[in-house]
Amino acid sequence: MGFSMKMLWSAPELNPYNKKAKSIPIFNPVNKYGRVFFFSYLGFFIAFWSWYAFPPLLSKSIKADMHLSQNQIANSNIIALTATLLVRAIAGPMCDHIGPRKTFAALLFMGAIPTALAGTAHNAMGLYFIRFFVGILGGTFVPCQVWTTGFFDKNIVGTANALVGGWGNSGGGITYFVMPAIYDSLKKDQGLTSHVAWRVSFIVPFILITAVACGLLFLTDDTPTGHWSERGVATSNASHQTVVATTGTLDEKPMTTGSISSNDEKKHHPTPTGDVESATGEVQVIDNYQHEVIQKPTFKEAMKVLISPQTLMLAAGYFNSFGAELAVNSILGAYYLKNFPYLGQTTSGRWAAMFGLLNVVTRPLGGFIGDLIYKYTGGNLWAKKCWIHFVGVMAGIFIIIIGKLNSHTQDTMFGLVALFAIFLEAGNGANFALVPHIHPHANGILSGIIGATGNFGGVIYAIIFRYNKTDYAKTFWIIGVMMIVMNLMFAWVAPIPKGQIGGR
């Protein structure tokens, strides 16, 4: 299906078997699919902003108010990432059990409470406690991805996942501008002291999180067919419409050439094709779609998914792409300030924010190119997988160059970091462009594992930064070597498990 600008606001064409959209109505929040897309990225954006609301105020205002050491600040960053790791691992099975929409709303409401209570922290221990529970918000990434995977078809799912992930991730950049602005406004316009101003500023994200969670819960659906309990209705209906004639062919089937609009779901009766005994044609297609309906998770199934080589391959990729992004995001402002002290805390922080803001373009680009490769190679998943390894190795090369040069020239440093960010953040999008193809019946479990591993990477790399203190350049090239090695280690793994049905 070719692209036209009209697709950005028109009701999308649907896959007749699973009722998933074949295009993304980005500018149409009235449409059912457009609403899910809108709340997916908005919910994750607000969550990411609130999750990263501490760092912009931590290095100066909060540090001075609580008399924190550099190590205590580093510890609080690690604790925030650890909490999200645990929540993402739990959120995956929750998505498969009660559906991503309810899981998404639950995590937002749960994360809103410690956000509102941020001002109750008065020492390092209080900060650790609050940041741990605010870390719940980082877990919203999992239902965000599972939800969009359930509404957008294989031809466009990589782009959809990358867009909501990238636009949501940009909240980590926006917060560097917004939180200091709220804080400054409360001090200058409202006359509050620094001690009170930073505490009151956290009420703003609390209000926004609560509003978005309510909108998400009351204005959207669990699946294209309605409630989570009805997630298999579309493929079930397609199967029931397939009647075996005495000739051994299929008398009636949904359209295969083309698709139908979400506003036009009339029945079609094209020429019968397929053979039941050989499980070819329409019967095979229906089997494939039925195989992809998410099942309630069991411990045995979860373990099978966990130890799959394909899961380990994706986990290694996300460990390095999102994990490195989280760790670098936490120290980049300090690195710039060290190499360019004349910039000051505010300006160096704003330049560091550009690293996160690039996600608006770079992560969607990774998913979009993954979908494009998939299309032009005739649905070749090896090509989609090789794209993940390519951007991973390139990101590793660029971060090694940054570490070895340790440039004190602004143009060189900012340019290299931007190139590094393009490949690193494209890797996030590329990874979740392949995720929907692997273990589709356990998409929540898989997304939870991969998402949690990304945070695990963030924790490991944050620990390496902590023990190398302010020798950021050394840590950069260490991370680069690890990225290249881990990407090449899994280059041999087949893109989908042997014997898996489907894999379109």
Q: How confident is the model at residue 243 (pLDDT cuts 50, 70, 90)?
A: very low
For residues 151-176, give the mean pLDDT.
90
Task: Measure the CA–CA gap between 41 and 282, rounded to whole angstroms.
Answer: 35
List alpha helices for 307-409, DSSP H.
Answer: 309-339, 344-357, 359-376, 381-405
Rg (CA), the chain: 23
What global pTM score does this model have?
0.82
- DSSP label at 292? T
pLDDT score recorded for residue 73: 86
**Mind listing the pLDDT tens digit for each residue in 344-364?**
877 888 898 889 889 889 999
pLDDT score recorded for residue 251: 34
Residue ranges per structural domain of the chain: 17-227+297-489
pLDDT score recorded for residue 295: 67
> Quick count: other Cβ atoms within 10 Å of Cβ 188?
10
**Mind listing the pLDDT tens digit for each residue in 132-142?**
999 999 999 99
- At residue 221, φ and ψ (nearest 5 deg) are -110, 160
**Mind listing the pLDDT tens digit for each residue in 261-286?**
444 444 444 444 443 333 344 545 54
pLDDT score recorded for residue 100: 96
pLDDT score recorded for residue 255: 42
Query: If you write DSSP's letter for every residue of 405-449 in order, what string do you get?
Result: H----HHHHHHHHHHHHHHHHHHHHHHHHHGGGSSGGGHHHHHHH
pLDDT higher than 70, residue 289: no
b/e code 337-357 from CB counts within 10 Å (16+ = b):
bbbbeebeeeebbbbbbebbb
Q: Is 279 exposed, middle or buried (0-12, 13-18, 19+ CB in 10 A)?
A: exposed
CA quadruple 424, 427, 429, 435: dihedral positive or negative?
negative
**Mind listing the pLDDT tens digit for each residue in 38-90?**
999 999 999 999 998 998 888 788 999 999 998 898 889 889 888 899 999 99
| Percent of the chain's residues with pLDDT above 90 | 60
300 compared with 143, residue with greater pLDDT: 143
Structure tokens at 77: 């960053």
- CATH T-level fold of 17-227+297-489: Growth Hormone; Chain: A; (1.20.1250)
Q: Cβ(2)–Cβ(376) under 8 Å?
A: no
pLDDT higher than 90, residue 257: no
Structure tokens at 398: 């660029």
For residues 291-296, give the mean pLDDT.
64
Query: If you write DSSP's letter for every residue of 328-346 in order, what string do you get?
Result: HHHHHHHHHHHH-GGGHHH
Could you give the 3-state DSSP secondary structure of residue 250? strand
